Structure 1
Amino acid sequence: MLTRLRRKLCWGHLYIFFIWGCLLLFLTCLLKYMSLECDLGDVIRDSGDLQKSYCKDQYYMTLKLPANGQKNCSKIIRGNLDEIKKTLLDNLIVKNKKVDVTDVEYLNITKDCNVFKERRKYVMFSLNKEEQDFPIAYSMVVHDNIEMFERLLRAIYAPQNVYCVHVDKKSPESFKEAARAITSCFDNVFVASKLEKVIYASWSRVQADLNCMEDLLQSEVQWRYLLNTCGTDFPIKTNSEIVKALKSLNGKNSMESEKPPAYKRIRWEYHYQWNESIIRTNIKKGPPPLNIPIFSGSAYIVVSRDFVKSLFVNPMGKQLIEWAKDTYSPDEYIWATLQRVHGIPGYMPKNYKYDSSDIHAIARLVKWQSLEGDMREGAPYTSCTGTHRREVCVYGMGDLHWMLKQHHLFANKFDPKVDDHAIQCLEEYLRYKSFHGKEMQSQWRMEDVDRPMRSLI
């Protein structure tokens, strides 16, 4: 009996020592793990280990972009009408109106670039190897609202990409100086070498992009695709999602390109003159070179590097560009037409079967006022919850739920003076998803999914 008792006590002590030993080992490993410094190499290597996850969490906590105020962006993005209404009411309170950051304030903060990038929370490293190995070029045409430009740059910035900024010659000197100050803080962001005085609906808008395209081709960055933006754009996909979408194109381009409506033909059938504005003359133009059929589209495109190269060397492309310089709003047909020219890299045949509307192309998501309505009755999209400018929706918070379910890379238009909450929620959403690869909520809640938004306006 005594021997058996001694054996039990012995095994009991051994068991206790074993438990304490395991606990001590666990605590030692945990403390060692917690004391490790995060190496950027661990973040971008696709190892999938615990250290990588821990480092990403640490960097996210430093670089997250939480929206201001009491609003719940996760609820707004899920389409929660009560949260949207509450925040829309907040927009109506004068004391809560957005105050823009001025040109002078940007000039001051960019005096120390390290402080600027730290305060504005730029992500200065690639988040994964796939992104690192697939650089993208951006042509950014801007003319005012320095804060909106800088927030757009921050949203799309990645160190492996390259960014050309075309600043309108008409812009105030303070804006030009602030834009140059911002770009000077980055090795891969620069102001275009040739600047245009951009006149609405004139060739100068296309030339601004061409100037950037030419500069970007001279860059040491071997970018794969080019996307062009303006100051009222904002991304609705992370850089990782954009890379995946571009890789899936497999060398093709993506843009709106359709048979034009009859009323638009006057835009290229007559010669136009422009100085401070554009004026139609009574002089009729000849047909486009080689009788190339004209297609209607958008100023905003997703095109391969080879497509961009061809604009400066392909004889048919160069002839069409020269012919279009005295037409009205050539930005809304020149790219769409080049996309259908045989021999242009990534082209689509001119047969109507290959027509692509703005809904099907991935370049830009736009809500046209005349097409808004009840989707249950066949409208392509719900009513705008912001306001309208030139018959285009300037988005409000109530548009985010619908917007983020679309396949487009960017959306247009945004304006912080109309609804800064919408932009803030997008910033919070995109930054979180960039680091974690998923939305702030793993699943969309399906409440109010396709309910009309008219009651919110």
Structure 2
Amino acid sequence: MNTRMVTSMYFKKHRKLWICLWTLGIFMLVTIAVKKYAFMDCDLEDQYQKVYTLNKNCRQSLYASLEILPLNQINCSKIMRGDVEALEEALLDRLLITNKRASITEEDYFNMTVDCKKYKKMRKFLTFSQSKEEEDFPIAYSMVIHEKIEMFERLLRVIYTPQNLYCVHVDEKSPEIFKKAVRAITSCYDNVFVASKLEKVVYASWSRVQADLNCMEDLLKSKVQWRYLLNTCGSDFPLKTNAEIVRTLRSLNGKNSMETEKTPAYKKRRWQYHFEVDTSVIQTKTKKNPPPANVTMFSGNAYIVISRDFVKSLFQNPHVKELIEWEKDTYSPDEHLWATLNRMQGIPGSVPLHAKYDMSDLNAVARLVKWQYDAGNINMGAPYSHCRGTYQRGVCVFGIGDLPWLLQQHHLFANKFDPKVDNNAIQCLEEYLRHKALYGKEL
């Protein structure tokens, strides 16, 4: 009996087995091909702008790789819900020297940003839009910083999306290595740049306002038709995702949002006298002329949410330009210029002079701050409880225990945060915001 006959008889005898094996093989090949097709674009390069159109499996795989998780064993989900045991464990963790990590240095950022693609992937930047709604509503940011390179990068990472625009003003007095590290980071993004003109910023002087104005002017030159501008500093951190910020800004319907109230008597000297600037701001005995055009002065703070048309008016409206010029020798002009402009008739997004339109910092959406002199027992009339971190110049540097309260507020950003005071507070906010941005639900 030859070989061919043996093979034929063997095949006939085991025909059903061979058909089963053949069918199984075809099924496995098809399954592999389907999975390969489903996941082949999950690393996304050319489709980052349309991630919300991808299939569910692809998005899940991508999103899992972009979650920002704490480096230690704290339970941020429980902390956000006010779980006492989880909060106590996080507080203990903060005190343990063995759990303290070294900050990322300027030199580290030089090395990481040599390969921008690798850097963005390693540091888990969201380089794609999450929705069509966000794509259609770009936001501009003015970021005024002077130190703490890692804190700047973490802030940028949590607010970054490809359709927004980010101008970074670095204090001219900052060390060269810091300025170079900022430029190294910004060089990896087409929509993040350092301001074309840098100021030597002196606390409570005009230079702080000028830093924002420099960024505003640069941002207006961009082809990106951003809708609103938010200004930040290096100790800020958001309380909302980009999608939530977009929805809040849409609801403003062209109005600005900032603190703007009647000026307390003790603050009036800030613009009644001429101040000179050296390494600090010094009051002289020279009285200033009243504000131009009979302008009524209001009190506020440096952090604002303003429409694109409001920003344009700063460089185009002659009355606004006149007030800006008059403000340049005042004390802490950022705490009265913006508030006053937002009550001037004819200024885009402004509100009338009447006291019914006064807005406190707690009612505005721009910035949430716990002031030491306001904190106390809520049941006794205080607006909020005491800081769970520490106070710096009368302002709370938030601790992990402040997070449940912070997340109940409507503000877009909060100030202040410092990883040296409580890095766990920042870590949990990072995890919370990234999880909510990716999955649309709380941690």
Separation in structure 2 between the aligned mates of residue 347 and residue 43 of structure 1, nearest angstrom: 34
Q: Deviation per CA, 1:233-265, whole angstroms, max 9, x where unpaired?
A: 001100000000011111110000000111001
Separation in structure 1 between the aligned mates of residue 377 and residue 83 of structure 2, nearest angstrom: 18
1:378-457 mapped onto 2 (5 Å cutoff): 378-440=381-443
Q: Mark the CA change 1:362 to 1:30 in structure 2 (over 3 Å): closer, same or farther.
A: farther
Identity %: 62
Give the letter aligned to residue 36 of structure 1. A
Give the letter aligned to residue 419 of structure 1. D
TM-score (norm 1): 0.87
Give the letter aligned to residue 85 of structure 1. E
Find the counterpart in structure 2 of residue 223 from structure 1: 226
**Alignment match of 1:200 (pick from 203, 224, 233):** 203
1:83-162 mapped onto 2 (5 Å cutoff): 83-162=86-165
Separation in structure 2 between the aligned mates of residue 354 and residue 191 of structure 1, nearest angstrom: 36
**Alignment match of 1:36 (pick from 35, 38, 51):** 38
Is the 1:340–1:348 contact (alpha carbons within 8 Å) kept by the matching residues of 2? yes
Give the letter aligned to residue 104 of structure 2. V
The answer to whether the aligner puts 1:173 opposite 2:176 as a matched pair is yes
**Alignment match of 2:363 (pick from 357, 360, 368):** 360
* Gap runs ≥5 in structure 2: 1-22
Is the 2:270–2:330 contact (alpha carbons within 8 Å) kept by the matching residues of 1? yes
* Gap runs ≥5 in structure 1: 1-20, 441-457
**Alignment match of 1:261 (pick from 261, 264, 267):** 264
- Give me the CA root mean square deviation: 2.0
Structure 1 stretch displaced more, 376-385 or 305-314: 376-385
Aligned-residue offset at 1:60? 1.1
**Alignment match of 1:281 (pick from 279, 284, 287):** 284
Find the counterpart in structure 2 of residue 305 from structure 1: 308
Is the 2:51–2:59 contact (alpha carbons within 8 Å) kept by the matching residues of 1? no
Is the 1:139–1:166 contact (alpha carbons within 8 Å) kept by the matching residues of 2? yes
Structure 1 stretch displaced more, 173-182 or 92-101: 92-101
SS of the counterpart of 1:210? Answer: helix
1:48-59 mapped onto 2 (5 Å cutoff): 52-59=55-62
Q: Deviation per CA, 1:5-44, whole angstroms, max 9, x where unpaired?
A: xxxxxxxxxxxxxxxx9xx99x978983675134665984
Separation in structure 2 between the aligned mates of residue 410 and residue 77 of structure 1, nearest angstrom: 17
Q: Deviation per CA, 1:178-217, whole angstroms, max 9, x where unpaired?
A: 0011001100000000000000000000000000000000
Is the 1:268–1:327 contact (alpha carbons within 8 Å) kept by the matching residues of 2? yes
Is the 2:399–2:425 contact (alpha carbons within 8 Å) kept by the matching residues of 1? yes
Find the counterpart in structure 2 of residue 74 from structure 1: 77
SS of the counterpart of 1:171? Answer: coil
SS of the counterpart of 1:370? Answer: coil
Separation in structure 1 between the aligned mates of residue 81 and residue 430 of structure 2, nearest angstrom: 15
Is the 1:137–1:161 contact (alpha carbons within 8 Å) kept by the matching residues of 2? yes
Separation in structure 1 between the aligned mates of residue 206 and residue 55 of structure 2, nearest angstrom: 49
Q: Deviation per CA, 1:268-289, whole angstroms, max 9, x where unpaired?
A: 0000000211111110001001
SS of the counterpart of 1:271? Answer: strand
1:322-333 mapped onto 2 (5 Å cutoff): 322-333=325-336
Aligned-residue offset at 1:94? 2.4
Is the 2:390–2:396 contact (alpha carbons within 8 Å) kept by the matching residues of 1? yes
Q: Deviation per CA, 1:129-163, whole angstroms, max 9, x where unpaired?
A: 11111100000000000000000000100000010
Q: Deviation per CA, 1:16-75, whole angstroms, max 9, x where unpaired?
A: xxxxx9xx99x978983675134665984766xxx5433322211111100111100001
**Alignment match of 1:63 (pick from 45, 61, 66):** 66
Separation in structure 2 between the aligned mates of residue 205 and residue 36 of structure 1, nearest angstrom: 51
Is the 2:52–2:130 contact (alpha carbons within 8 Å) kept by the matching residues of 1? no
Q: Deviation per CA, 1:301-337, whole angstroms, max 9, x where unpaired?
A: 0000000000001111111100000000001111000
The aligned length equals 415
Separation in structure 1 between the aligned mates of residue 246 and residue 328 of structure 2, nearest angstrom: 33
SS of the counterpart of 1:371? Answer: coil
Find the counterpart in structure 2 of residue 13 from structure 1: none
Separation in structure 2 between the aligned mates of residue 427 and residue 279 of structure 1, nearest angstrom: 40
Q: Deviation per CA, 1:101-141, whole angstroms, max 9, x where unpaired?
A: 11111111111111211110111110111111110000000
Separation in structure 2 between the aligned mates of residue 43 and residue 206 of structure 1, nearest angstrom: 34
SS of the counterpart of 2:339? Answer: helix
Is the 2:48–2:128 contact (alpha carbons within 8 Å) kept by the matching residues of 1? no
Give the letter aligned to residue 305 of structure 2. V
